[in-house]
Amino acid sequence: MDREKNMYRLFLKRAYPPDFESFRKVLKGEKEPEKVHFVEWGVDSEVWLHCCGNVLEIMDDLIEVVKIDAFHSFQDVIVPVGEFKKRYGNTIAILGGVDMDKLSRLEEQNLRNYVRGILDECMSGGRYALGSGNSIANYIPIENYLIMLEEGLRWKGK
């Protein structure tokens, strides 16, 4: 394994609670991985990471050591996408961010306002692509999904 290039995608088996300290040591080559699989990718490859749950504690390691180029999967209760964009938007691309709970429950006008707010907050400076906070589930009303897309098409910026 060529750890110097940091060109590996990690697939971790779930651990409850997550052991971020051991994970950091594996990333930095200070510890041999246990139940971790490394898959090499090409030097010119981009790494778009989808990761559910709260990984804010290791986000700097994912950016600096793993060298992710983009991150997806957001829940407002963990970190709203706008806040994440302020922290990391100059370093990596931000993908999605429309909270699934809000996408499934908000009435039309509230959803439109919510999506516009995300666009206003995240489009500045680039490195943002509108989308849901996770995969579109079967409980998302089609109308709400289309509202999100419409607002993306209508957005003109400030």
In this model, does residue 56 exceed pLDDT 60? yes
Q: pTM score > 0.85 for this model?
A: no
In this model, does residue 27 exceed pLDDT 70? no
- Answer yes or no: do 19 and 33 share one domain: yes
In the predicted model, what is the mean pLDDT of residues 27-44? 57
- Answer yes or no: do 120 and 98 share one domain: yes
- Answer yes or no: do 73 and 122 share one domain: yes
Q: Which of 144, 142, 141, 96 is nearest to 118 (CA)?
A: 96
In this model, does residue 10 exceed pLDDT 70? no
- Answer yes or no: do 92 and 34 share one domain: no
- Answer yes or no: do 18 and 80 share one domain: no
Angular region, 109: left φ>0, alpha ψ -120 to 50, beta rest: alpha
Q: What does the alpha-carbon distance between residue 130 and residue 85 come to, in Å, rounded to a whole number?
A: 12
Q: Give me the domain span that covers residue 157.
A: 46-158
- Answer yes or no: do 67 and 130 share one domain: yes
Domain count, the chain: 2
Residue 78 identity: I
- Answer yes or no: do 56 and 126 share one domain: yes
- Answer yes or no: do 32 and 57 share one domain: no
In the predicted model, what is the mean pLDDT of residues 46-50? 79
- Answer yes or no: do 117 and 82 share one domain: yes
Q: What does the alpha-carbon distance between residue 47 and residue 45 come to, in Å, rounded to a whole number?
A: 7
Q: Which helix (H) or strand (E) holds 40?
A: strand 36-40
- Answer yes or no: do 34 and 50 share one domain: no
78-104 residue pLDDT tens:
999 999 999 999 999 999 999 999 999
Residue 63 phi/psi, 5-degree rounding, is -80, -50
Residue 39 phi/psi, 5-degree rounding, is -125, 120
